[in-house]
Structure 1
Amino acid sequence: MILIADGGSTKATWCLIRPGMETLYFSTEGYNPYYVDSEYIQRSMRQALPAGVPCADVTEVHFFGAGCEPSTEQVIIRGLQPLFAQAEVTVGSDLLAAARALLGDKPGFAAILGTGTNTCLYDGRGVTHSIDPLGYMLGDEGSGSYIGKKLLIAYCREYMPLTLREEFYAQYGLTKELIMERVYKDPLANRFCAGFTTFVKERLDDVYIHRLASEAFDDFFRGLVCHYPGYRAHSLNCVGSVAFHFEPVLRQSAARFGMSMGRIIQDPIQGLVQYFQRGVVI
């Protein structure tokens, strides 16, 4: 049996490929090795694993995730190996998973816009060039955490119109002091910030909120996309909840920067399943 995971910083989607049986899908929280350690992953997985997953029969575990790179992959491996003692555990980047799901064996540009951000050029087989997004503290332009930070700044500094500030307080009950404490003391502050994208998404008809979201995506192009050589020759292909739910605003930003739109999908897991079932790049 083969277990596959595609993980962001907030959520991971898993699929168990069982020979002769239907595939089994389930979800856990996301495991970004920059924000969680091996012990945390193991505890969380033990609680989240469905009863129908026969851990002892799993022979391969393939985890693709945010923050997964050669220097951090052991955090994931040590977190998963004790649960799947008979399996070979491999770790890959979320970018490779996204590119395969979006582009198959065709070259192009692929991006992730979820809790965090990531981008790359893909040659049909692997990632050939990627600009470091730098995480939510320094970068991640266009991501859920980035949009959330912009909203929190506008709220705390009282740049936001009074009506919107009142709606924000009524919905969340947060003062500036409480927000500062969560942002600077919460080890998963990126998720805390990203959680406010719901407030933005529900009010995109508001001129102020629409401008805030537009600026976040314009920053995504200015800070990342425009620095890829010949970026206008590619279409913009994205996976992730932010790309999916903010597609109209993202399309407007792409047009401003002279880039055509390609595919936008919320979750790349189906493409990864096909890849491992067929044993070829989809």
Structure 2
Amino acid sequence: MILIADGGSTKTNWCLINEAGRKILFNTEGYNPYFSKTDYIIESLKKSIPDYLETEKLTEVNYYGAGCSTEGNRKIVSDAMQQVFPNAKINIGHDLLASCRALLADEAGFAAILGTGTNTCLYDGKDITLNIDSLGYFLGDEGSGCFIGKKILGDYMKGYMPKGLRESFYDNFALTNEDIFDHIYNKPLPNRFCAGFSKFLYDFKDNYEDYTFTTIDHAFTAFFDNLVTHYPNYKDYKLNCVGSVGYSFRDILSVVADRYEMGIGKIIRSPIDDLVDYHLHIAGK
């Protein structure tokens, strides 16, 4: 039995391929090793994986995760996986590589993640050949859910948000400025906290089209200005993108991409289905 996983900072999508070749999907929370250490991942997985999954029978785990770009971070996740799946061969890769394989398979091109965080790269059909570091939620991650969430929180706290939307925000979350500061500076996973508010904006976008467009346009413009346009000959590529933010606001993403003379390619919410197909049909070639 084989497990394939795409792990973001907020959620991990898993696919079990059982002995009969059947695909079984399930989810757990996300495990970014910059925020979640080995013991935490072990404890969370033991609580979250379905009872039907016989961990001792697994022969291989292919886990692609946010933050798994360095040897040290991959070891944090690998050590946890080996404890939970003791008889499996553990393969840990970066979530950006998962996105490339899901979006482009064995074709060359440009791939991006627009979810809780942001990432971008050029891919040659096998490996990532160029990656401009997005610098994470504190210094960068332009265009991400966290980037958008910080703008929404700032507008709410400063009173810049449209009155009706501000009232809906308080009705939904009942957060004071002091509560928000406490979440950001004192509680764990501030990136996940901020990113959650991008969904709030999506839910109310039809009633506040101007505010939504301005906010998302600002985020995606920053994404292009600080990341995309710094790739050589970026206009020669199509923008292939995975992630809930890119998918949910793909209409605005298309408008911004057109402004920068970059065509739109494949945009998907989650890479797991295409990633499983990659492992079943291409990885074994």
TM-score relative to the length of structure 2: 0.96
Q: Structure 1 stretches of 5 or more lacking a match?
A: none
Aligned to 2:37: 37
Aligned partners of 1:42 and 1:279: how far apart in 2?
31
Aligned to 1:214: 217
Per the TM alignment, residue 33 of structure 1 is displaced from its structure 2 partner at its CA by 0.5
Alignment of 1:251-266 (within 5 A): 251-266=254-269
Aligned partners of 2:282 and 2:203: how far apart in 1?
41
Per the TM alignment, residue 21 of structure 1 is displaced from its structure 2 partner at its CA by 4.0
Conserved? CA contact 1:240–1:265, under 8 Å: yes
Instruction: Classify the secondary structure of the residue corresponding to 2:52.
Output: coil
1:104 aligned to 2:97?
no
Identical-pair percentage:
49
Alignment CA distance shift 1:124-1:201 (3 Å)? same
Aligned to 1:22: 22
Moved more, 266-275 or 58-67: 266-275
Alignment of 1:41-56 (within 5 A): 41-56=41-56
Per the TM alignment, residue 204 of structure 1 is displaced from its structure 2 partner at its CA by 2.6
Aligned to 2:184: 183
Moved more, 193-202 or 162-171: 162-171
Per the TM alignment, residue 275 of structure 1 is displaced from its structure 2 partner at its CA by 2.2
Per the TM alignment, residue 209 of structure 1 is displaced from its structure 2 partner at its CA by 2.6
Alignment CA distance shift 1:279-1:163 (3 Å)? closer
Aligned to 2:96: 95
Conserved? CA contact 2:152–2:197, under 8 Å: yes
Moved more, 134-143 or 154-163: 154-163
> Which of 237, 247, 251 is 1:248 aligned to?
251
Per the TM alignment, residue 17 of structure 1 is displaced from its structure 2 partner at its CA by 1.3
Instruction: Return the letter of the residue paired with 1:17.
Output: I
Conserved? CA contact 1:100–1:281, under 8 Å: no
Instruction: Return the letter of the residue paired with 1:165.
Output: R
Instruction: Classify the secondary structure of the residue corresponding to 2:5.
Output: strand
Aligned to 1:192: 193
Aligned partners of 2:169 and 2:273: how far apart in 1?
36
TM-score relative to the length of structure 1: 0.96
Q: Structure 2 stretches of 5 or more lacking a match?
A: none
Q: CA RMSD in A?
A: 1.3
Aligned partners of 1:260 and 1:186: how far apart in 2?
40
Q: Deviations over 1:185-207 (max 9, x none)?
A: 12111111011112211233421
Q: Deviations over 1:137-187 (max 9, x none)?
A: 111111111100010011112222333222211221111111011011121
